[in-house]
Amino acid sequence: MVCKGICHKYKASWGTEHIRYSMGQKRCNVCEIFVHWDGRHCPCCGMMLRTRPKLSRYRQKCIIQRENLK
């Protein structure tokens, strides 16, 4: 699983004050980039995308922000 550079077409821009995951952005650990992608796997390398933050304090913020955005 190697980055082929295709993911840069789907690169997500940084928001104002929201956590990226709550805005629907996903992270590829192989390509080391946040992407706007509807699928579960990276369009570039095929690795499964992260949809939640690793740290629990950011997970709680993400849950709260998702509820507020709905």
Q: Return the pLDDT at 68.
A: 75
- Average pLDDT (18-35) is 86
Q: Return the pLDDT at 48.
A: 94
Q: Confidence band (pLDDT; 50, 70, 90) for 2?
A: confident
- Residue 33 — left, alpha, or beta (φ > 0 → left; ψ -120 to 50 → alpha)? beta
Please check whether residue 1 is in contact with residue 45, taking contact to mean a CB–CB distance below 8 angstroms.
Answer: yes
Residue 53 has pLDDT above 90, yes or no: no
- Average pLDDT (13-32) is 81
